[in-house]
């Protein structure tokens, strides 16, 4: 059965004003696909590509995103004209997107509480539900690539132990399967709304990401550049920085990787 009927993709494009929403049966990585085809994609943004099966998904740095059949994996591409967020705030787009994804997923499993693990992972019941990868290309003009992988209908039984024990899916949370285009549409609509809210600044989303911050009150270790910063997480400030109360005082971390929490 086709997980992404053409009529459903056309309806998504109309609903969110995308130039093109398409899906392929199998790709190594939707993020890699958009970068390899950036010249053509730049002519039709916003552009969304989904894959029914992703064989070599990419996470942050050297991380691999393990996606089994039934997962929703896609990349959305925007330029300055189609993303109502100024270029200087593009680095915070992953956090804006994380809040949008959390809100969208909570709307489809309303009995659950869904959290953001700064800066761009989504957790439920203490396990990872979704990962987000933000990348930027500069030629032929600046483009923002937002790669998103959500565990939707996929079974994690065949996943490596370290994935199976730390991940969760929507079908596991709800007991019911979902129509992938419905989940895709919910996420894109919420992204669109949150980006519009942040056109003038990040403050409108500050309460949302503070409320959803998974790390608040936890002992954390953050690798930020060459520094390893350890302490108690004090949440996320209005600019999207993670606050860590370390032995040397409160540190504001604008970019980094959470290595322990």
Please report, for residues 11, 63, 91, 176, the alpha-carbon distance to residue 239 in angstroms, rounded to integers and kept in the order given.
35, 26, 11, 38
The answer to whether residues 200 and 220 belong to one domain is no
The answer to whether residues 47 and 162 belong to one domain is yes
The answer to whether residues 220 and 194 belong to one domain is no
CATH of the domain at 249: 2.30.30.100
How far out from the chain centre does Cα 151 lie?
A: 12
Residue 63: its pLDDT value, please? 56
- Angle of helix 93-108 versus helix 203-211 axis, rounded to 10: 60
The answer to whether residues 35 and 141 belong to one domain is yes
Residues spanned by the domain of 115: 6-210
The answer to whether residues 15 and 74 belong to one domain is yes
* Alpha-carbon span 149 to 158, nearest angstrom: 17
The answer to whether residues 195 and 222 belong to one domain is no
Residue 43 lies in a domain: yes
- 140 preceded by cis ω (within 30°)? yes
DSSP 160: -
Residue 66: its pLDDT value, please? 59
**Whether 209 contacts 237, CB under 8 Å:** no
The answer to whether residues 154 and 251 belong to one domain is no
Q: Domains in the chain: how many in total?
A: 2
Residue 1 lies in a domain: no
Query: 221 phi and psi, to 5 degrees?
Result: -125, 125
pTM over 0.85: yes
Residue 213: its pLDDT value, please? 97
The answer to whether residues 155 and 240 belong to one domain is no
Burial environment of residue 94 by CB neighbours within 10 A (0 to 12, 13 to 18, 19 or more) = buried
The answer to whether residues 235 and 125 belong to one domain is no
User: Which DSSP helix (H) or strand (E) runs through 115?
Assistant: strand 114-117
H-type helices in 3-158, by residue range? 6-16, 30-36, 38-41, 93-108
The answer to whether residues 123 and 146 belong to one domain is yes
Residue 204: its pLDDT value, please? 87
* pLDDT block averages, 10 residues each, the chain of length 261: 91 97 96 96 97 78 66 96 89 92 97 96 97 94 96 82 84 96 98 91 89 97 94 95 96 94 94
The answer to whether residues 166 and 56 belong to one domain is yes
Residue 127 lies in a domain: yes
- 119 preceded by cis ω (within 30°)? yes
CATH of the domain at 201: 3.30.930.10
């Amino acid at each position: 059965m086709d997980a992404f009927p053409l009529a459903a993709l056309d309806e998504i494009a109309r609903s969110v004003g995308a130039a093109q929403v398409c899906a392929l049966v199998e790709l190594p990585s939707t993020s890699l696909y958009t970068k390899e085809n950036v010249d053509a994609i730049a002519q039709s943004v916003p552009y969304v590509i989904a894959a029914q099966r992703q064989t070599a998904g990419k996470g942050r740095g050297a991380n691999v995103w393990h996606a089994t059949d039934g997962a929703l994996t896609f990349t959305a591409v925007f330029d300055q004209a189609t993303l109502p967020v100024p270029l200087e705030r593009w680095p915070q787009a992953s956090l804006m997107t994380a809040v949008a994804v959390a809100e969208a997923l909570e709307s489809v499993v309303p009995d659950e509480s869904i959290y953001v693990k700064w800066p761009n992972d989504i957790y439920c019941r203490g396990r990872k539900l979704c990962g987000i990868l933000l990348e930027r290309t500069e030629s032929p003009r600046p483009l923002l690539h937002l790669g998103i992988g959500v565990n939707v209908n996929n079974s994690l039984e065949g996943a490596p132990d370290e994935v199976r024990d730390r991940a969760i899916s929507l079908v596991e949370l709800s007991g019911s399967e979902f129509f992938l285009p419905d989940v895709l549409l919910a996420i894109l609509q919420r992204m669109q709304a949150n980006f519009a809210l942040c056109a003038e600044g990040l403050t409108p989303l500050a309460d949302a990401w503070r409320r959803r911050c998974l790390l608040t009150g936890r002992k954390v270790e953050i690798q930020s550049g060459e520094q390893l910063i350890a302490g108690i997480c004090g949440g996320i400030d209005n600019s999207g920085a993670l606050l860590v109360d370390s032995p040397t005082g409160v540190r504001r971390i604008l970019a980094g990787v959470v290595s322990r929490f």
